[in-house]
Structures are given as C-alpha cells and as structure tokens.
Amino acid sequence: MRRELLGVTDHFATFGLPRAPWLDAEDLKQRFHRLSAQRHPDSHGGSGAAFSELNAAWQILRAPAARLRHFLELEHPAALATPAQTPPELAAMFMDIAAFFQDARRFAARRDAAASPLARALLEPERIALRAGLDSLTAAVATLSDAITTRLRDEKPAPDDLARLLASLVVFEKWTPQLAEARLSL
C-alpha cells in the first residue's frame, strides 16, 4: 500500500484516498480508526511497521497545513520551490496581533506590580477590554482559516494559489495556540 514518489511517501495512498488538498475530517478519522484496528501489532495480521506508517500518515493528513504541503510535494513540487512569506493580506492582522501582545505584556506587568486587591480591581476594565480584543482577533483568525478550508474544499486553486494558501495556514497554525495561551493569561 505504501507508495513513494521521488522519495516522498504518499500518505494519501496509505489511507486509500485520492490526493486532494482537502479531506473530510470525519471520514479521515473513521478510516484511521478502522485501519488502526487492522494494522495494530496486537491484532491478527497487524505489524509495527504498518501501524507506524499509518500513524505517520495520520499526523500529516489530519492537519490542514501539513496535508496541503504534502499534497503539493506530491503533485506540484515546483510550487514549494519559492520560500514562503507571510501573505500580504495577513500583514494588517499581523500588526494587530503584535500590538495586542505588546498591550498584554504591559498589562501583565501592571497587574503583577499591583500590590493590593483594590489596585488589581482597578485594572479589571483594562483586562476586559484586552479580552474582548483577543476574542476579536481569535475570531478573525478562525474566519480566515475557515475561508481557506472552504476554498480548498469547493474550488480547485492553481498550484501557486495553493502555495499561498499553505503560507496562510502555517501562519494561522502559529497564531492560534499563541492566542489561546494569551487567553489563559488574561
């Protein structure tokens, strides 16, 4: 079942799926569970190598950016030849996120320096405003990420467009946990 193209393992083939930049997440999950049961070393006919191969494929195909990169490696390697840069349409959002983190750091320093409950209470409106800004940024990132997923599902973008979409997904995968961590600190 394992196929290689120019030294790149075809993880789509591992799952018996056609190569595509978008996959139905629930279908992929069901296939993974079914194939895991068949290939697990403790099951009849299973092996450690087959199970490891399946897990490697799962790690790539379940993550949208990794899946898209893998698709491009297999189908359009030239599209990956140009170094990825932050897409221009994300520049404004990048500046908004950077400004938010600066404001959050300044707030955290004031909050940590607040010696009394009254001083901390006086900072609450600022914390609430920062939290609202964070929620807005998080929603904007999710909306743009969802738009890319929808585009990958509903359209057939050209390879160069796919490479730009990949660059955006990589940025979103970096921002999402950073924003989630910031949420915990507020």
pLDDT at 2: 43
pLDDT tens digits, one per residue of 55-102: 999 999 999 999 999 999 999 999 998 776 777 879 999 999 999 999
Handedness of CA 164, 169, 174, 175 (dihedral sign): positive
pLDDT at 136: 97
Q: pLDDT band for position 4 (50/70/90)? A: low
- CA-to-CA separations, 35 to 32, 48, 75, 176, in angstroms, rounded: 5, 13, 25, 30
- Per cent of the chain over pLDDT 90 is 80
Residues 99 and 68 in one domain: no
Question: Is-contact 182 101, C-beta < 8 A?
Answer: yes
| Torsion angle (degrees, nearest 10) of CA 94, 97, 102, 104 | -170
Structure tokens at 44: 């009849």
pLDDT tens digits, one per residue of 37-47: 999 988 888 78
Q: What is the C-alpha to C-alpha distance for residues 154 and 164, in angstroms, rounded to an integer?
A: 17
Domain residues for 168? 88-185
Mean pLDDT for the stretch of residues 17-40 = 94
Q: What is the pTM of this model?
A: 0.84
Give the end of a domain, one of 75, 107, 133.
75
Measured in degrees and rounded to the nearest 5, phi and psi for residue 117 equal -60, -35
pLDDT tens digits, one per residue of 123-163: 999 999 999 999 999 999 999 999 999 999 999 999 989 99
Pick 6 or 45 by higher pLDDT.
45
Mean pLDDT, the chain, rounded, equals: 91
Q: What is the C-alpha to C-alpha distance for residues 131 and 152, in angstroms, rounded to an integer?
A: 31
pLDDT at 83: 75
Residues 173 and 98 in one domain: yes
Tell me the three state secondary structure of residue 8.
strand
Question: Is-contact 38 30, C-beta < 8 A?
Answer: no
Residues 71 and 93 in one domain: no
pLDDT at 115: 94
AA identity, residue 177: P
Supply the Cα-derived Rg of the chain in whole angstroms: 22
In a domain? residue 80? no
Tell me the three state secondary structure of residue 100.
helix
Count of structural domains, the chain: 2
AA identity, residue 155: E
- Per cent of the chain over pLDDT 70 is 95
Structure tokens at 171: 């940025």
Residues 97 and 170 in one domain: yes
Helices (H), 83-123: 91-113, 117-122
In a domain? residue 82? no
Q: How many CB atoms lie within 10 A of CB 97?
A: 22
pLDDT at 102: 97
